[in-house]
Structure 1
Amino acid sequence: MGYRSFVAIGDSFTEGLGDPLLDGSGAAAGGVVRYRGWADRVAERLARLEPDFRYANLAVRGKLIDQVVDVQVPLAVQMRPDLISFCAGGNDLIRPGSDPDRMAKKVAAAVRDLRGTGAEVILFTGMDPRDTPIMRRARGKFAVFFMHIRSLADLYGCHLVDMWSMQGLRDWRAWSDDRLHMNSTGHRLVAAKVLDVLGVPEEGDWRMTWPPRERVDSRAKLREDALWFRRHFAPWIGRRLRGTSSGDGVDPKRPHLGPLS
């Protein structure tokens, strides 16, 4: 079955951070970095199969699960598309005191509302955080939440994109310098996985084996870690202390259901 409309909701993962959309000169269009991401890539493929295809992307970086459910889900329900993707919770899980069981109840209510429109819904498990020094301390919490997502997909008849099993994403060459967002290669792999789950023919394959990586000098690795701490981790800590978010003042990139330009 062809999809005539698709609405993507969530946080930076769905907004597409790490996958910049550049013009022909290699500079961000208009001097402002815009992002493509897996959802745009999926929409582009679906649009090639359906002439009247429409797409909206309501995702905003930094949003917590309550914000996604309370703001974006009602908008998606009003749009009544054929297909809705929902992925949220990562920003909650990396915060102390987050409760994966409470989060899952919030997701369950959202999925009921989304499925109630008659739309097909895509849910996601996230990556196994064991390779990430900071997040792997909360690996058990991540696993509990993702098991809830699996059960909700089964209970409500949703498509499930299992990123935990995507070995190609375990290589740092699929990730941006901030070590939190996928780069263009990572987003391309996720898009291929989504299309595979939907049963949509696609040239690319999400199963990827990376060639052996050159050995990195230990001193170079220390310099790289220090640069990451200064450019990415320290600002993140600063936002937590100030109670601000990277998504403050950021609007959805495609707030209305319309044709792809």
Structure 2
Amino acid sequence: MAIGDSFTEGIGDPNAYYPNGFRGWADRMARQMGRADESWEYANLAIRSKFLDQIVEEQIQPALAMAPTHISFYAGGNDLLSLRTDLGGLMDRYEAALTRLTASGAEVLAFTAFDTRTTWLLEPLRRRVLAFNDAVRDIAAAHGATLLDHTLMREYEDPRLWARDRIHMSRQGHKRMAAFVLQELGIPHTLKITELDPWAPRGLRRAIEDEAKFVRGEVLPLVARRLRGVYDGDRVGPKWPEPFRPARGMKRVAKERALAAQQSA
């Protein structure tokens, strides 16, 4: 069972054969777990751009109603993007949510956010990320959650593991995350992780041009959407709202569900 926001929905890993047009680490992991145990079932309620309170209100109870053995929980990233976020209050609500999940008896997977260290324009965000991560580590330890410490995976300093927005992982980034989680759970997998060639440093002029392009194409539009209260998650639903067996083939299941939706429309 996976709940959360764009990190878990799979934004940055486009695939037209999957619901919502994205695959992502959780779906990749589910396919591998289905191969290890054909009876294993999976559901993914995560939706992009959702805030912590929305995830708690909309996803936790439906997730717990399915009586899962494992729950992946990533939330709070979108709250951190707001300068007005009360971090102390956010972490209190995060702890309440995690306590509710661990009390179910399921193994709960909690994640830190990666310390991106990109443009200086995002330095205020980076400081909040560091504080958020420290709190997540403490909360996970206090409540017996399994911590996946993303920020320790320094290979993610390679820009090729990130999408153009520098917030979401790329296809290769999602694949590595799936392998990392499977390894932490002790589940064998057949994911092929491509070794990346050394990243060639950019010259000063190229670096300045890239930063200007990033600000125009990603930062300013994101700020504008936030100011207007426009969120991509308002237009989509969960990818896999009902549990199914990934061993059946996830593309096959997606096709069957799309056909059933067309016939009932």
Partner of 1:57: 44
Q: Map 1:115-194 to 2 at 5 A.
A: 115-194=102-181
Match of 1:100 in 2: 87
Q: CA–CA distance in 2 between the matches of 1:49 and 1:212?
A: 34
Q: Equivalents in 1 of 2:39, 2:147: separation in Å? A: 26
TM-score (norm 1): 0.86
- 1:1-261 alignment runs, 5 A limit: 7-21=1-15, 28-29=16-17, 34-203=21-190, 210-260=196-246, 261=250
The answer to whether the 8 A contact 2:36-2:187 is kept is no
Q: What letter is aligned with 1:136?
A: E
In structure 2, what is the Cα distance between the partners aligned to 1:227 and 1:68?
32
Residues 5-55 of structure 1 show CA distances to partners (whole Å, capped at 9, x for unaligned) of xx111111100011112xxxxxx349x961111101111111111111111
Give identity over the alignment, percent: 39
1:185 is aligned with what amino acid?
Answer: Q
Partner SS, residue 20 of structure 1? coil
1:241 is displaced (CA, Å) by 1.6
Count of residues paired in the alignment: 247
Whole-Å Cα distance in 2 between the matches of residues 89 and 186 of structure 1? 20
1:217 and 1:170 map into 2 onto residues whose CA distance is 18
Provide structure 2 residue ranges, at least 5 long, that are not aligned to the other structure.
251-265
Give the alignment's Cα RMSD to 1 decimal.
2.2
Question: Structure 1 stretches of 5 or more lacking a match?
Answer: 1-6, 22-27
8 A Cα contact 1:94 1:135, kept in partner: no
**1:47-92: CA deviation from partner (whole Å, max 9, x where unpaired):** 1111111111111111111111111111111111110000011111
State the Cα deviation string for residues 73-126 of structure 1 (Å, max 9, x = none): 111111111100000111111211212221111121112221222111000011
CA contact (8 A) 2:13 2:23 kept: yes
CA distance, structure 1, for counterparts of residue 95 and residue 223 of structure 2: 30
Q: Which has the higher contact order (CA 8 A, sep 6+)?
A: 2
- Matches of 1:157 and 1:200, distance apart in 2: 20
Q: Alpha-carbon deviation of 1:201? A: 2.3
From the two aligned structures, give the one with the greater helix fraction: 2
User: What is the CA–CA distance in structure 2 between the aligned matches of 1:46 and 1:149, rounded to whole Å?
Assistant: 26
Deviation, 1:229, is 3.2
- Give secondary structure in 2 for the equivalent of 1:85: strand
Distance 1:33 1:253 in 2: 6
CA distance in structure 2 between the aligned counterparts of 1:218 and 1:29, rounded to whole angstroms: 40
- Give the C-alpha shift of residue 243 in structure 1: 1.3
* Aligned amino acid, residue 116 of structure 2: P
The alignment partner of 1:244 has SS state of coil
Aligned residue type for 1:52: S
- CA distance in 1: counterparts of 2:46 and 2:65, whole angstroms: 16
